[in-house]
Structure 1
Amino acid sequence: MSTTEIVYTTGDATAPDAEGSAVIAHICNDLGRWGKGFVVAVSKRWSQPERAYRDWYAQRASNDFGLGAIQLVQVEPNLHVANMIGQHGIGTSAGVPPIRYDAVEHCLEQLADFAASSNASVHLPRIGCWPAARGTG
């Protein structure tokens, strides 16, 4: 598989079908809130990503927490979870969903650098698919 090939699969996004190193990436909000969406499945499998995200947020005055930042958390010997801050808030405001595509792009650029240097495959649930009626995240 080339580094630019995208393969769509169905199944459990917390259990990537990959040989070698892998990264599971997902979008987080910039409010320090964790508890809906894909993060529920992540937390059922590992405690470290949520704990790391909450600590990162709590210490945001002295670190890089904010839109466009990523946090890589090793959860197994060949597996990391990438907490990517690509969402401003959690609800739609004036018809604008909370996803910030420029921040997501910056996160994905950093993720690509890490994956390339680690020779890791990248796995994500669908991102940026925010239905306007949903309102929370």
Structure 2
Amino acid sequence: MRLSVGGDTVDDVVREIEYLVGDATAPNGVGRRIVAHVCNDAGGWGKGFVVAVSRRWREPEAAYRLWYRERAMNDFALGAVQLVPVAEDLFVANMIGQHGDRPRPGNPPVRYAAIETALTALGGRALDLGATVHMPRIGCGLAGGQWELIEPLIEERLAARGVAVTVYDLHS
């Protein structure tokens, strides 16, 4: 759709999330790409999707651990995003969207507001870089989140802003 804004014509690009069976650490496409995932605010790294991230690249874990260790002097907190370059035109977004690293009865670690804040920041970074975003079903594994609550956040904070998003499922 094209809109007229103040005499100028601009594209109003609203994208839909693309779903693929595959590995989010091997994102499809060319150009700048960001692999996004949810991390906890407890400094833990070693279970879930981060295992696949660490198998492919060393930099995201090292950056996350340093970010956590130096948290008194930086922005490490729920909702924060750390963009880590891992190759030319490829980045990993460590998004803090999980409080703690262990589920408690009736209180999963996922924090939807933090994921929304992180996705908003990620959307801005992706637009600045002209990058596409690739991810597993963030917040739905160890964090205990519900995809039907997270998907609308991705649609609003990324896709509706014109960021192309691909969500990967390992199995069909």
After TM superposition, the score normalised by the length of structure 2 is 0.73
Pick aligned residue for 2:44 from 33, 51, 57: 33
Matches within 5 A, 1:52-131: 52-130=63-141
**2:35 aligns to what?**
24
Q: 5+ unaligned residues in a row in structure 2: which ranges?
A: 1-12, 145-172
Contact 2:37–2:93 (CA<8 Å) still a contact in 1?
yes
Larger radius of gyration, structure 1 or 2? 2
**Count of matched residue pairs:** 132
% of aligned pairs identical?
58
Secondary structure of the 1:61 match is: helix
**1:44 aligns to what?**
55
Change (3 A) 1:111 1:3: farther
Runs of 4+ in 1 over 6 A off after TM superposition: none
Pick aligned residue for 1:12 from 2, 23, 29: 23
Q: Which amino acid aligns with 1:91?
A: R
Deviation, 1:26, is 0.2
Change (3 A) 1:132 1:79: closer
Deviation track 1:100-134 (CA, whole Å, cap 9, x = no partner) reads 0000000000000011111100001012324799x
Q: Which amino acid aligns with 1:55?
A: L
Deviation, 1:19, is 1.4
Task: Give the RMSD, CA atoms, in angstroms.
Answer: 1.6
